[in-house]
A and B are shown apart, each in its own frame.
Chain A
């Protein structure tokens, strides 16, 4: 299991566990973390699992790559930043133990 912390827009922190091999989207949905919709089912097709990776983690998680589907979708998301990623595109592996993700007020 890998531990990940979701910080909601009001500052509430929720530490949850998820099996290795799942993604950060499942970490939120399977543990009832509010604020992640994930409408498309984890296919990188809707941008409703938008998170801001904590700046301390961004290099390890990796930034958006211009021209890839994830960046193409997130360009239309409200409040997208240099730390924006889609949770469904962040695989949960041992190296992610302790990861911190910030959840926007609303998904769009």
Chain B
């Protein structure tokens, strides 16, 4: 069954769709990057919107900043529990042949709290201070190896490389095999329609392979003194050391995806945004201190995870609409991050914005992104080092975007570097 049409939506066509027939779950809208036009309509005409029929079943869309905040901080009513569907618009555990993974992002308290607390120290500020010199050294290496004046793919050579290296550092993962992490991250969020995996069976096979690989690392580290890497932390913590297999794998994949897709796409998205806004690029070139406010602005602008989903545990009203117990509720961060009523000139990329950290990309409440400071750190370092070396990272062709409703990804970005 085809879940999607590849026919391009023009602005006129989008404007003509009856509001109740809008279905923002179609991955093609994100790949073609027309999704913003749909969200503009929802925010104006029906900010809490019910889609009766879609390939992921019926769901509510929450599209305004404040309504999203209200849902995100109300975990007692809006559950993340995997068995109820979990945290993405596509139900977890719904697909035949898929693994019934368990991960703390898709749990409610108290188990969520215990597991999150166990792994948090790896990405907390004091550990990041220790990691910063290593990340910077690796960023410099990546940038110094790039060709000047020659076209290449920024995603592959920089965005993937930097985030993969950082993730390998966090896991203390065998260095030469670090691209396995990139692959497992892609496979985790992939559905067969993306072409990344051939089928759910194939996906399952690869993820089990991932688990076995990590089991090997785990077995080594559990017998060594505790260290600061994520595997050692989990192997030694009383709340994570005896996790069942699918929970072990689930939490690993959560950390891999969390540390990979998101920062990768923000690194690419920043280059694209600066090219689309040459005045902002000029401002940056004139004043490198703007990197501090540019980093959160890039994260808002890209919104690398378009949404998080919850399931209502009881009837509840949002924005004058009656949500029923059991309903699927999707918080569209990508839409809330363009909400004019909360963010001044929300549809513009402004690197010296006054209050740039007030965005939804990390979510809010107890599930707020645990790696948010690490993401900012990587972006800050890469831009500081880019600024030293290059007058411009020029985008030389059309970007290619990921076919996904969840990950707002850029898969290819041809660029040419201009030396400073």
Residues of chain A having any CB pair with chain B under 8 Å: 37, 39-41, 43-48, 69, 72-73, 75-76, 78, 105-108
Q: How many residues of B contact A (CB 8 A)?
A: 21
Distance in angstroms between the alpha carbons of A44 and B75 in the assembled complex: 13
Residues in B neighbouring A40, C-beta threshold 8 A: 69, 358, 364
Distance in angstroms between the alpha carbons of A105 and B129 in the assembled complex: 11
A73 touches B357 (CB 8 A): no
Residues in B neighbouring A43, C-beta threshold 8 A: 69, 73, 364
22 A-B interface contacts by CB (under 8 A): A37-B357, A40-B69, A43-B69, A43-B364, A45-B69, A45-B72, A45-B73, A45-B364, A46-B368, A69-B73, A69-B365, A73-B368, A75-B117, A76-B113, A76-B120, A76-B366, A78-B124, A78-B125, A105-B125, A106-B373, A107-B125, A108-B125
Residues of B342-377 at the interface with A, using a CB-CB cut-off of 8 Å, are: 357-358, 362, 364-366, 368, 370, 373
Among A37, A78, A105, A107: residue with most chain B CB under 10 A: A78
* A108 CB contact (under 8 Å) in B72, B113, B366, B373: B373
B113 touches A75 (CB 8 A): yes
A73 touches B125 (CB 8 A): no
State whether the Cβ of B387 lies closer than 8 Å to any Cβ in chain A: no
State whether the Cβ of B223 lies closer than 8 Å to any Cβ in chain A: no
Residues in A neighbouring B124, C-beta threshold 8 A: 78, 108
State whether the Cβ of B109 lies closer than 8 Å to any Cβ in chain A: yes
Distance in angstroms between the alpha carbons of A40 and B366 in the assembled complex: 13
Summarize A's interface: helix, strand, loop or mixed. Answer: loop
CB proximity of A55 to chain B, nearest CB, Å: 23
Distance in angstroms between the alpha carbons of A24 and B364 in the assembled complex: 20
C-beta contact mask, B124-144 vs A, less than 8 Å → 1, else 0? 111000000000000000000
CB proximity of A28 to chain B, nearest CB, Å: 14
C-beta contact mask, B36-78 vs A, less than 8 Å → 1, else 0? 0000000000000000000000000000000001001100000
State whether the Cβ of B179 lies closer than 8 Å to any Cβ in chain A: no
- Other A-B pairs, 18, CB within 8 Å; known A40-B358, A106-B125: A37-B357, A40-B69, A40-B364, A43-B73, A43-B364, A45-B364, A45-B368, A46-B364, A48-B357, A72-B109, A72-B113, A72-B366, A73-B368, A76-B113, A76-B117, A107-B125, A108-B125, A108-B373
Residues in B neighbouring A45, C-beta threshold 8 A: 69, 72-73, 364-365, 368
A41 touches B358 (CB 8 A): yes
Beta-carbon nearest neighbor of A107 in chain B? B125
State whether the Cβ of B116 lies closer than 8 Å to any Cβ in chain A: yes
A44 touches B73 (CB 8 A): yes
Distance in angstroms between the alpha carbons of A61 and B274 in the assembled complex: 46
CB proximity of A74 to chain B, nearest CB, Å: 11
Distance in angstroms between the alpha carbons of A41 and B341 in the assembled complex: 14
Residues in A neighbouring B72, C-beta threshold 8 A: 45
Distance in angstroms between the alpha carbons of A41 and B364 in the assembled complex: 11
Residues in B neighbouring A37, C-beta threshold 8 A: 357
Distance in angstroms between the alpha carbons of A17 and B365 in the assembled complex: 29
Beta-carbon nearest neighbor of A69 in chain B? B73
B116 touches A76 (CB 8 A): yes
B358 touches A73 (CB 8 A): no
CB proximity of B115 to chain A, nearest CB, Å: 11
> Top 7 closest A-B pairs, CB basis?
A106-B125, A45-B364, A78-B124, A39-B357, A45-B73, A108-B125, A72-B366
